Amino acid sequence: MADYRKMWEDLGMDVETHDQLCEVLPQAFGDVYLSQENRPESMDYYNFVVAEIHGVRPAELIEHQKKGGKVFGTFCVYVPDEIVFAADAIATGLCGGSQFWVPGGEKVLPTNVCPLIKASVGARLDRTCPFFRIADMYVGETTCDGKKKAWEILAEDVPVHVMNLPQMKRAKDVTAWAEEITDFKKVVEDFTGNEVTAEKLGASIRLINDKRRALARLYDLRKNEKLPISGKDVLLISQIAFYDDPARFTQMTNKLCDELDQRVADGVSVFAEGTKRIMLTGTPLAIPNWKIHNLVETSGGAVVCEEMCTGTRYFERLVDETKTTVDEQIQALSERYMGINCACFTPNTARIDDIIRLAKEYKVDGIIDVNLKFCSLYDVEGYSVEKALQEAGIPVLGIETDYVDSDAQQLRTRISAFIEML
Ligand code: BJ8
């Protein structure tokens, strides 16, 4: 990695502690990613982004701030990036996926909170992630209880705006979310000093839709019998989508898809014939959480789809691009975002419909329902999900895990046994 020490010091980071993360990450990435055979050449871009994860993109964000621009940090796929980009600001994902940050979170949070929340709070309070330092404002949401309370703790340290997400999907809830987006627009306008006009919002809707289209194209390629790319690689791309420059990400992902189109035409597969096709569903896998994909793909399986926020929930369905007034655009945004099926909603049967639809589209042999420890929403919903899958005749394995490696061997045994019986 290039030398970014000065930048990190200027950000007020704990550079010594951060050095420890810089030491382990390349090793982990090498073991999980670079050991794969026959990776697409276009993965070089994403390898580079990860190798320089705390350098290149943070430097771009700081450059943007030097020109007077603002950076908003987000934690959930319900928060509409379109509003942020329409105000000439940048939105960047802030979810933490490493055990490295968890002890920092545990200093202020109870142990029985999900690792995603603990890692995110720890990354901020321990000052060991540049993205968490750079963001001028955090945007929270009222999804799960742990997050709702975590915003209050984070707000002691950084400006936080919380969006009130409805928990049901009636027409009045879609209206309420549109009102919430309108309020968010005002907050963003006041904070940036830039007006969100219909023209600008229209452009940012197309910008983010283009990213969705590129991801949908990539995922479509995984529907092929012969898989031109591993699940691990697609997971990495999904994770990078949350903080990379959207236009560049779209361009690079379409470039990768061109290469994968050629692989499909040539009948190239990165897996041996007969490798079982596995879909994952459940809680998000924030970077650098590659644990389950790695276990599946080194145990005789291939991950072909993720019904997750780091997966289909992030890109499926587009925002209507034909609206011409800000009010209509906001209504279109609300309709698109309220179509995401997170377990924080009740009822959430549309998620089960999605899982069964995706299982058919991606021709999966089995599904692994992955739950991050202490996420009661997805844990409880797992009952209905697994019951529906059994009724549909789709084999399912439910697992619960967190960011530590100590359960890897036990999980490998269970995952291998599951794949073997498919
Ligand atoms: S839309 S999944 S990104 S809320 S895993 S922090 S729910 S206790 S992340 Fe999520 Fe938005 Fe839903 Fe997606 Fe809480 Fe569960 Fe932890 Fe979670």
Q: What does the pLDDT look like over 272-293, one tens digit per residue?
A: 999 999 999 999 999 999 999 9
Asked if ipTM goes beyond 0.85, one says yes
pLDDT at 3: 83
Among protein residues, the one whose CA lies closest to atom 11 of ligand 1: 76
Plot region of 302 (φ>0 → left; ψ -120 to 50 → alpha; else → beta)? beta
C-alpha span between 305 and 174 (Å, rounded)? 28
**Dihedral in degrees, nearest 10, Cα atoms 236, 160, 127, 117:** -50
Predicted confidence (pLDDT) per residue in 34-74, tens digit: 999 999 999 999 999 999 999 999 999 999 999 999 999 99
The minimum-distance atom of ligand 1 relative to the CA of 344 is 12
Task: Judge if the beta carbon of residue 284 lies within 6 A of ligand 1.
Answer: yes
Per-residue pLDDT of the chain (422 residues), as tens digits, is 568 999 999 999 999 999 999 999 999 999 999 999 999 999 999 999 999 999 999 999 999 999 999 999 999 999 999 999 999 999 999 999 999 999 999 999 999 999 999 999 999 999 999 999 999 999 999 999 999 999 999 999 999 999 999 999 999 999 999 999 999 999 999 999 999 999 999 999 999 999 999 999 999 999 999 999 999 999 999 999 999 999 999 999 999 999 999 999 999 999 999 999 999 999 999 999 999 999 999 999 999 999 999 999 999 999 999 999 999 999 999 999 999 999 999 999 999 999 999 999 999 999 999 999 999 999 999 999 999 999 999 999 999 999 999 999 999 999 999 999 99
| C-alpha 116 to ligand 1 mean position (Å) | 8
What pLDDT shows up at residue 229? Answer: 98
Alpha-carbon span 327 to 182, nearest angstrom: 8
Q: Is 105 in the pocket of ligand 1 (CB under 6 A)?
A: no
Whether the CB of 338 sits within 6 Å of ligand 1 = no
pLDDT value of residue 1? 56
Residues in contact with 247: Cβ distance below 8 Å, sequence separation at least 6, in sequence order: 207, 210
Ligand 1 site, residue 377, Cβ cutoff 6 A: yes
Ligand 1: which atom is nearest the Cα of residue 143?
Answer: 4
Ligand 1: atom nearest CA of 113 is 8
6 Cβ contact partners less than 8 Å away, ≥ 6 residues apart: none
